[in-house]
Amino acid sequence: MTSTTDLPAGASTDASTDASAATGKGLARVLGPAGGVLMVLSCITPASSLFIIVPEMMASQGSGVVLTVIAGIVVSVAVGACYAELGTRVASAGGEYAMVTHTLGKGVGWLTFALSGVLLWLIPPIIALGTADYLTDILTIDRGLAAAVVMLLSAGIAILDVRSNAFVTGIFLGLEVLAASVVAVLGVFHLQRGPGELVVPHVVGEGAVNPFTAAILVSGLTVGMFVVSGFGTAAYLAEEIVEPRRNVARVVFWSLGLGGVVILVPTITTVLAVDDLGALATGNFSEFVRAWGGDATAVAVNLGIAIAILNAAIVMVLQNARVVYASGRDRSWPEPVNRAVTRVHARWGSPWVATLIIGIPGAVLAYAIDIEALLGITSVVISAMYVVVALSALKVRRMESAAGWRMPLWPLPPLLVVVVVGYALLSSTGTDLAITGALLLGAFVYYLAYLARKPEDRFIVIDPTDDPVLAD
C-alpha cells in the first residue's frame, strides 16, 4: 500500500513507485515473532537497565524503586499500545516518522524523523561507553576506546543478515538474562525483610529513614519508563517481520513484558536482601553480588553486563540502520544520498551502507566527544516522540487506514501518555528544551527549503506492507 499523504491535488504517486523500485531487492520478510522479540528485547537490554539505571533510581527512590519501576512499566504499556496500533497499520522501517507522517502529515513527520535522528546516532555510543566500567576486573581500558571498538564490532555484525543477527543476539541475550537471574537468586537467599517493605516503602535521606511519597514516585517516573524503553523499535523491523499487521504488536508487548520481568524481579529481591536501606542509596549491584556471592561471581556477572552492552549496541545499530534505509527509500535526501543509503547487500540482504552510517560516526562520537553530557537532551527527545506518537494514535481511528491491531480502552492509553509524558517533558531543563527546539528549527528549514518544494517527488513515505519481498 503506497501512501499519498499530503500530496497536492492531481499529483502522481509514480514517485513513490520509483522510490520503491530504486531500492533494488529491498528488505526480506524473514523474522518470525520469536526472532523479533529476541532482537527488540536485546535493544531494551534489561541487564544494562538493571545494573546501570536502577541503582541511580535506588539512590533517590529507596525501597520505593519497585513501585516506581512498576508505574513506569504501566505507562510504557500505554506507549506500547500506541506503537502497536500504529506499527501494524503502517508497517514501515521508518518507525515513528512513518507512523506520524501517515496520520499528522509530512511536516510533523519530518520533525519526528529529526527527533529520532538524535537517538539513532547518540544512544548506541552512550550505551557502549559503559563497557569499560564492567571490564575492570580483567583489564583496564580507556572508556572511549572500548566504546569505539564496541561500535565498530557492532556495525560489522549488524551487516550480516537479520536471521544471523537474531541468532547471535539470542545467545548474548541468554547470557544477559543469566546475569540478572544470578542477582535474583542471590537476593532470595539473603533476604533481610518481608514483602511489606514493597507495599510501604521508605527512602533514606539526611541520615533518617523517611516514608516514600507519591511526589517521590512522580519525580522518578520518567526514568522508570526509560528502564524498559526500546520496545518501540519493533517498528524498525516491520519490513522484515512476517505478517507485520499481526506480529508487530506481539513483538512490542512480549518484549516489553519479558524485559519488565527481567528487570523487576532482581530489583525486588535486592530491595528485600540488602543489609540496610541506606545501602540502596550508596551501593550498586556489583557490590551487592560481591557481598552475597564472592569475587568470582561478581566478575562473571560484570562480564555478563559487558556482553549485554555489546548485544544492545549490535541491535541498535541494526535497527537504526533500517530507519536510515527507509529515509532514503522515501526520498528524503538528494538522489545520490538516497541511492547510497538504500543499497542492500547482495548476500546478506542488509542495508550495509546505512549500517556503516550509523556505526562509524557512533565510534567517533564515543571516542572523541563527551556525549554522556547529552543525556538530558535524549530524555527530552524520547519524551517528545512518545507524545507525538500518542497524538497520532488518537487521530488514526478517525482516518481510513489499513486494518491492524486495535488497542483496548482507546483513547485512554494515548491520553495517559500525553498527560504523563507531557508533564515530564515540560519539567525538563530550559537548556535541553532550547537545544531540542534549535534542532527542530533546523529540520523545519530543511523541510521548507528542500522537501516541500517538490512534494510530489520528495519525502514520499510509503507503506510496503502489502508488497513484501520474499526471502530466497
Q: Please tell me the distance from the alpha carbon of residue 385 to that of residue 391, in angstroms, as a whole number.
A: 10
Helix (H, G, I), strand (E, B) or coil at 202: strand
Half-sphere exposure of 256 (CA within 13 A, CB side): 27
Please give the distance of CA 242 from its chain centroid, rounded to a whole number.
Answer: 21
Q: Do the Cβ atoms of 263 and 276 come closer than 8 Å?
A: no
Q: Do the Cβ atoms of 460 and 404 come closer than 8 Å?
A: no
Average pLDDT over residues 308-325: 92
Query: Is pLDDT above 80 for 389?
Result: yes
Report which of 229, 249, 253 is spatially closest to residue 241, judged by C-alpha positions.
249
For the four alpha carbons of 413, 115, 461 and 443, in that order, the dihedral sign comes to: positive
Task: Provide the residue range defining the domain that includes 129.
Answer: 33-138+165-292+371-400+410-452
User: Per the structure block, which three cell numbers stand in for 454?
Assistant: 517538490
Band of residue 356 on the pLDDT scale cut at 50, 70, 90: very high
Place of cell 524498559: 228
Query: Is pLDDT above 60 for 392?
Result: yes
Helix (H, G, I), strand (E, B) or coil at 399: coil
Q: Are strands 202-205 and 208-211 parallel, antiparallel or unpaired?
A: antiparallel
Domain count, the chain: 1
Cα Rg for the chain, rounded, in angstroms?
Answer: 22
Average pLDDT over residues 348-373: 90
In this prediction, residue 1 carries a pLDDT of 38
Peptide bond into 124 cis (omega under 30): no
Q: Residue 31: beta bridge partners?
A: 241
Helix (H, G, I), strand (E, B) or coil at 226: helix
The domain that holds 447 is classified in CATH as 1.20.1740.10
- Interval 201-236: pLDDT, tens: 999 877 778 899 999 998 888 888 889 999 998 988
- Interval 178-190: pLDDT, tens: 999 999 999 999 9
Band of residue 109 on the pLDDT scale cut at 50, 70, 90: very high
Confidence (pTM): 0.87
Percent of the residues in the chain that have a pLDDT greater than 70, as a whole number = 92
Band of residue 465 on the pLDDT scale cut at 50, 70, 90: low
User: Per the structure block, which three cell numbers stand in for 52?
Assistant: 546501570
Percent of the residues in the chain that have a pLDDT greater than 90, as a whole number = 57
Domain presence at residue 441: yes
Q: Give the least confident one: 55-64, 345-354, 363-372, 459-468.
A: 459-468
Q: Please tell me the distance from the alpha carbon of residue 273 to that of residue 316, in angstroms, as a whole number.
A: 34
Domain presence at residue 20: no
Domain presence at residue 235: yes
In this prediction, residue 402 carries a pLDDT of 64
- Interval 287-301: pLDDT, tens: 899 999 999 999 999
Band of residue 5 on the pLDDT scale cut at 50, 70, 90: very low
In this prediction, residue 240 carries a pLDDT of 87
Query: Is pLDDT above 90 for 148?
Result: yes
Q: Do the Cβ atoms of 305 and 47 come closer than 8 Å?
A: yes
Domain presence at residue 248: yes
Query: Is pLDDT above 90 for 436?
Result: yes
Whole-angstrom CA distances from 463 to 84, 220, 239, 468 are: 15, 37, 9, 10
Give the burial class of 202: count Cβ atoms within 10 A of its Cβ; 0-12 exposed, 13-18 middle, 19 or more buried.
Answer: middle
Domain presence at residue 415: yes
Query: Is pLDDT above 90 for 191?
Result: yes
In this prediction, residue 371 carries a pLDDT of 72
Domain presence at residue 28: no
Domain presence at residue 151: no
Domain presence at residue 365: no
Phi first, then psi: give them for residue 204, nearest 5 degrees.
-105, 125
In this prediction, residue 205 carries a pLDDT of 77
Q: Please tell me the distance from the alpha carbon of residue 39 to that of residue 30, in angstroms, as a whole number.
A: 13
Average pLDDT over residues 363-390: 87
In this prediction, residue 394 carries a pLDDT of 94
Query: Is pLDDT above 70 for 12?
Result: no
Query: Is pLDDT above 90 for 400?
Result: no
Query: Is pLDDT above 50 for 2?
Result: no
Calculate the average pLDDT of the chain. Answer: 87
Please give the distance of CA 246 from its chain centroid, rounded to a whole number.
Answer: 21
In this prediction, residue 464 carries a pLDDT of 74
Half-sphere exposure of 350 (CA within 13 A, CB side): 23
Q: Please tell me the distance from the alpha carbon of residue 26 to that of residue 342, in angstroms, as a whole number.
A: 8
In this prediction, residue 11 carries a pLDDT of 37
Whole-angstrom CA distances from 73 to 228, 257, 260 are: 7, 9, 7
